[in-house]
Structure 1
Amino acid sequence: MSRRDSIQSRMRRLVAIFCAFLAAILMVMLALVLVYNSQYTGLLYNVTTASEFNQDFKENIDLKMYYYVIESQYSEGLPIEEVKAAQELARDLLSTTSQKDSLRAVTSVLDLCENLEEKIYQIEKTQNYDDRQMQLENNIYVLTAMIQEYMYNYLYCESVQLNLLQQQISRQIAAEIFLVLALTAALVLLLARYSVRLARSVTQPVVDLSRRAEDVIGGDLAVREPVRSETYEIRTLSEGIEQMISRINAQIQEITQKQTSLRRAELALLQAQINPHFLYNTMDTIIWLIEADRSQAAVEMVSNLSDFFRHSLSRGEDVITLGEEERHVRSYLQIQQARYKDILDYTICIDSGLQGTKLPKLTLQPLVENALYHGIKLKRGKGCIYVTSRGEGADVLIQITDDGAGMAAERLAELKWALETGERVGFGLVTVHERLRLLFGPPYGLTLSSRQGVGTTVTVRIPRGGKEEAET
């Protein structure tokens, strides 16, 4: 028997054919992925950049120009910076846009912005009030409306193009899947042809092992008995496959449980954010401010409420930066201070070097809310909430401290036990601690300290480098 007919030679030829087919598939798929990724990235960049356009552009420009024309005490001067910002955004989009309708829209925005700037300077040079008022209505209001309309048209065109590209990618993926299945079938047939020529002691185990591999490729991850064979290599390979499948199943279950727990905790926190009593009380405060002719304070409170819910959603992201979480907490405390100005002060001091640290969204706000309702409100007189941060080696410590009523030693021990066991005592604390442990693992999470009549401190410990550093 020549070396060419040996099992080793046949296996080498089989491996060579398999590698050639696999390399061809990978090269084709890689080329397609690179092409579509380039197109998709370009469109996504345009859509993302266009989304930064101020949705209140027209209202802001119109209002500032109105105040300028009537020489109001609220006038902030000519809104040239806003116009130039819109021009810069349009130029940026112009350099990356290729679609015809989108180009027409962004070019129109750029031209209109230049025209708007000229009209603004024209009003500045006009002395007669009636002429300035006419220019405001006939020029400024019309141009800002057209700029906003063309920018929305651009965003719509790019979104449509992005959707068409997604559909094209979906069709291409389906074609690639069909091609892979066809080539896999061809490889299986080739394997069967070579297997028939092998000795019976080797052929049947190889066939059984091949069928098992096909089942796994098809999604069958049930653990089975290893293939019986007198050949050590085949027996070891079969046992290894079954062990691998068993570990994959365990990892899938573990990941599924963690994701379920994280989503459940996040949903519970989001539902807690949309507290009807909080919303009703805030709205009542806004109404009171308006009735008291404190329109600026009412505007600020509406803005804070908008920021509060915007940060609660965080564009659908589960993990955000400490800087974003700080802004969320600040919006919440500004709203509550408007309601409880007689009893609430607060200080937020987050180290600028730690602003980029990653943590789960809705980590700090529930703790600040606990400090207000279970600390400050239960204290006689005015109290203060302190939010501070500092680095400690590879970790970041964030402390929420209040000088409120504090808690008895028995209650403190009960809460510490709940953090360790997951018992639902003190919903906000346990849920935040559970999410931190699920994402980062021990020793990260919450620690508590409190003295009755003195106050409470909740310390949040997270890794400076986020989840990646926690796993190292």
Structure 2
Amino acid sequence: MQSKLWKMILLVSSPLMIVIIVIASIGIVYALQYNAILNNVTMASEFNQNFKDDVDLKMYYYVIDSQYSEGLPVREVQSAEMIARKLTETTTKKESLRAINSVLNLCHNLQDKMNEIAETEEYNLREEQLENNIYILTDLIQEYMYTYLYYEAAHLDALQTTMIRNMIVLMAVIVVLSIVLLCFLLRKSRKLSKRIIEPIDKICERLEAIGKGDLLVYKPIQADVEEVQLLTDGIETMVGQLKRLIDKTTEQEKQRRRTELALLQAQINPHFLYNTLDTIIWLIESGEIAEAVTMVSNLSNFFRFSLSRGKNVITLAEEEQHIRSYLEIQKMRYRDLMEYKIDIPDQLKFFTLPKLTLQPLVENALYHGIKNRRRKGYIRVTGREQDECIILEVEDDGAGMTRERLEEVRASLEEESSIEGFGLRAVHRRLRILFGNGYGLTLESTPDIGTRVILTIPKQTAEESGT
């Protein structure tokens, strides 16, 4: 079937291509001829229209030896001769060529006559040569140049008329050929529609029904074309497999969601829980019951927000409470080591983001920034709007990173196999998957000054995120 289609395409396109090539060739030939004649006319137009008057006047002044005499008008004659010589090289029309050759010959004669006058000393004889030679030659030169322009203009007009007439004939040929090819296409298309289009229409209807949920297996649609028959047989074969795959995928998706939730909870560092419980025991043993109760309350809130009733997407307000509970716990553990501040505008708190987005960043700021500095440090979490995005920043005044180390961490965000920066990379890749490449994490750091992690997410409410 494919070979038949190619043959039909070639039968239709080949005549059109041939006609197009012929038209283009004729057009190029006409364009070259037209341009050549037009250049001749343009060059001839450079001929001094006052040639006769100028040369006659200058020769008259020269003959009478007037104070206005500038000598022999050799430059004017040479200019006319140069134009005539160039035109003889590009002129093809016989009449035009005869006229321009006459101009060239007359220019030679004019120079000779001018030299004769220059060699003649008797005034009367010079006057006679001026009347009988110079005036007649300049008149003939100007007349033949006008004759040349006339012939070339006529040739240009005739060429334009011929070109228009031939183009009309070629366009008529194209129209007739197009009508013939169109009739041929319509006839072939009618045959093809019975063999291909009609079965394909039925297949489309069948696919539409499948798309609406009709996954029952029917008898395959009968078609004369082998390829179409294979297609419809394959569709009915795959319908049964599709139903089984959908059921299997649905079950796998449920299992994946359960596993994903479990993995999210498992990401919480178990050492954090052990150390927190140890701190609570120490507070109780030290008699600091109120502090122990506060820490237990914060730990309870921390795990409650971690679970978030099974939701994967929570509001920014919930995420703020989550990291506040975490920071309160750590603040009680590291009393002389850490302070923090959370500054997120209220108008942003109803927007949503993936659960456990900020907690890994805050944990990273504490363990890789503040603790490495070995002095009291400050963690600041801020939020702001920027166009249609929300910018969240986690900043610490800890140890910071060298330029080389910063580049390594930035590179690890994009590498699947990297073992460095797991928490940051997990957050970054999850944001990229959910929202696209325009979102994610950006890192800034200066040694002994601190580190800033900038998180960019789109503005999404619970309704828009589908939660």
Normalised by the length of structure 2, the TM-score is 0.48
Normalised by the length of structure 1, the TM-score is 0.47
